[in-house]
Amino acid sequence: MAKKVAGRMKLQVKAGQATPSPPVGPALGQRGINIMEFCKAFNAKTQDMEPGAPVPTLITYYSDKSFSMELKTPPASWYLKRAAGLKPVGKRNRPKGAVKPGRETIASITPAQLREIAEAKMKDLSANDVEAAMQIILGSAKSMGIEVKG
């Protein structure tokens, strides 16, 4: 007999850094998911990823208190900021995009870096080939004030 799905939720957790502390612990605890079991499974699945990379995670939890998770690739903005070499700023110590995208350019990347990002994101994008994926990533770059030179 199939398990009965109690619900689904999305979390964005840094690779290899899932801990029972907020925001992960309370989000899982209020849904009856074993927090330590999730943290151990998540950290084991993300150990080969770059530490600290934000990983969007889709969690399906069942009425018998078990769960399954699907890991996505880090957001395109994270890849773009890293490729452009943007330094962390602000109170959350994160790199920021342009204040006026389209009128202001804050950084640039090469077409090779754009292709590399598109290939990394390919499984999560609705693109048929790498060229189409590059166009999607190019749109994200332009909306952040990052231009492609080369």
- pLDDT tens digits, residue range 50-103? 888 999 999 999 988 899 999 999 999 899 988 988 876 655 666 677 778 778
CATH of domain 5-71: 3.30.1550.10
Torsion of CA 15, 19, 21, 25, to 10 degrees: 90
Pair of tokens at residue 142: 């332009």
Architecture of domain 76-148: Orthogonal Bundle (1.10)
DSSP β-ladder status, 5-14 and 54-62? antiparallel
- Tell me what the mean pLDDT of segment 21-46 comes to: 91
pLDDT at 18 over 70: yes
- Tell me what the mean pLDDT of segment 107-124 comes to: 92
Q: Which residues of 102-132 are buried (b: 16+ CB within 10 A; e: fewer)?
A: eeeebbbbeeebbebbbeebbeebebeeeee
What tens digit of pLDDT does each residue of 121-145 get? 999 888 899 999 999 999 999 988 8
Contacts of 68 (CB under 8 A, 6+ apart): 59, 60
Domain boundaries, the chain: 5-71, 76-148
Domains 5-71 and 76-148 share a fold: no
The pLDDT assigned to 70 comes to: 94
The pLDDT assigned to 90 comes to: 55
Please give the model's pTM, rounded to 2 decimal places.
0.84
